[in-house]
Amino acid sequence: LNRVTASLLRSFSCQVLTAKDADEALQLFGSGAAVDVVLSDVVMPGSMDGQALARELRKRRPGLPVVLISGYSEALTAESSFIVLRKPASPSQILEALRRAMGLPTGM
């Protein structure tokens, strides 16, 4: 899914950084990589799930736009500051959620 979503976003001229787990994502973020928005699966390998990753990234950069995606509703807790997509999400739903998270016009 990571590669498919990255390819989709690149096809819309987005610059994409990918990470295999939360630890790698935190390393990328800490390296000073330019990050405008985060799209993360809630369930992922490693020591931290997507919600914990999103909270940690928000500690480091308050207000960072975050979109979480999950096929498991029980994996989600009420987290009003993150946009949540349910799997399966269509390409247009993913793009719309990212634009909304960034405060960009939607429905185009």
pLDDT tens figures, 15-56:
999 999 999 999 999 999 889 999 999 988 889 999 999 999
Inform me whether the pLDDT recorded for 77 exceeds 90: no
Model pLDDT, residue 41: 92
Query: Is residue 12 domain-resident?
Result: no
CA distance 13 to 18: 15
Query: Is residue 65 domain-resident?
Result: yes
Number of domains in the chain: 1
Query: Is residue 88 domain-resident?
Result: yes
More confident residue, 79 or 69: 69
Query: Is residue 77 domain-resident?
Result: yes
Domain that holds residue 47: 37-108
Q: pTM of the prediction? A: 0.88
More confident residue, 1 or 46: 46
CA distance 51 to 34: 21
User: Closest Cα to residue 9, out of 95, 104, 96, 80?
Assistant: 95
Q: What is the CATH number of the domain that holds 95?
A: 3.40.50.2300
Query: Is residue 90 domain-resident?
Result: yes
Query: Is residue 17 domain-resident?
Result: no
Coil, helix or strand at residue 73? helix
Query: Is residue 10 domain-resident?
Result: no
pLDDT band at residue 71 using 50, 70 and 90 as cut-offs: confident
Query: Is residue 70 domain-resident?
Result: yes
CA distance 56 to 11: 29
Average pLDDT, the chain: 89
Inform me whether the pLDDT recorded for 76 exceeds 80: no
Q: Write down the H helix ranges in the chain.
A: 2-11, 22-30, 50-60, 91-101
Inform me whether the pLDDT recorded for 80 exceeds 80: no
